[in-house]
Amino acid sequence: MCKIRIIALALSVATVVALGCQSRTPPPIATPPSDPFIQEREQMVTVQLEGRDITNPEVLRAMRAVPRHKFVPEDQLPYAYADHPLPIGEGQTISQPYIVALMTQVVKVKPGDRVLEIGTGSGYQAAVLAELTDEVYTIEIIETLGRRAAERLRELGYSQVHTQIGDGYYGWEEYAPYNAIIVTCAPDHIPRPLVAQLEVEGRMVIPVGPPGAYQSLWLLEKQADGRVKRQNLGGVSFVPMTGAVQEAP
């Protein structure tokens, strides 16, 4: 589930002239196709991210590296790098680039970290995380979205992203604990299983609030004694979390 607010090497073909022989042209060298969205992606980073409060150089690098246009439906391609969320089907959205960068920045992902994402959606957030560490786990409750995202991530070479169809309320206990958890859908309370699966000094960012209303984006950090330090990062609007959260206290 998702959420809120969506580089050419010019090879010159030289003529080889052999001494005493006629010149000949070598076979053409295949050049990689240019990225038609490179300028849009750079503008996204400089205006939407650097122009605000995204300062972590690794997060900025990751946002430059991931081809966001590969994670949106074809009819949304003209808006792939726009400063707002975009529909991806099944009533879900790909988050606004700024929100993706903000959530990634605040959990402070480092190489070697194990990261859990709740709400795979299009797979974009997972791809950004995979640019920062080699162990990303992501869960999607809507099967069609989850399978589509898994295929897209494989096609783009993000083999370090492990996907699962399931209820993210319960996390992914098999690979816990996690150094960072990013939740991209909004429950009306903080799921206890996710807190339990957070490593000591680990960080979780999660929108919390009632369905159909604005939520608060919370940053949680687990202390050595098991207590959780909380910081309110401000108002956001995510799609609601579904599944067991609707019955849980």
- For 26-75, what is each residue's pLDDT tens digit? 333 333 456 789 999 999 999 999 999 999 999 999 999 999 999 999 99
20 within some domain: no
Residue 89 belongs to domain spanning: 38-246
Is residue 4, in this structure, part of any structural domain at all? no
The pLDDT of 7-25, averaged and rounded, is 35
**Strand 86-89 to strand 92-94: parallel, antiparallel, or no bridges (unpaired)?**
antiparallel
Closest by CA to 119, choosing from 98, 91, 154, is: 91
The answer to whether residue 29 is domain-embedded is no
Within a domain: 190? yes
How many domains would you assign to the chain?
A: 1
> Which residue, among 236, 244, 196, has the nearest Cα to 220 in the 3D structure?
196
CATH number at residue 148: 3.40.50.150
Q: Which residue has the tokens 């038609």?
A: 36
Residue 9 lies inside a defined structural domain of this protein? no
Active site residue 34: no
E strands, the chain, are 86-89, 92-94, 114-118, 135-140, 161-165, 178-183, 198-208, 215-222, 228-236
Q: Any idea of the CA torsion for 244, 174, 90, 45, to the nearest 10 degrees?
A: 120
* Catalytic hit among 12, 23, 34, 95: 95
Q: What type of residue sits at position 111?
A: P
pLDDT in tens, 126-180: 999 999 999 999 999 999 999 999 999 999 999 999 999 999 999 999 999 999 9
Inter-axis angle of helices 97-106 and 57-65, nearest 10:
140
Half-sphere exposure of 80 (CA within 13 A, CB side): 22
Residue 63 located in a structural domain: yes
Asked whether residue 31 is assigned to any structural domain, the reply reads no
Q: Is residue 134 part of a domain?
A: yes
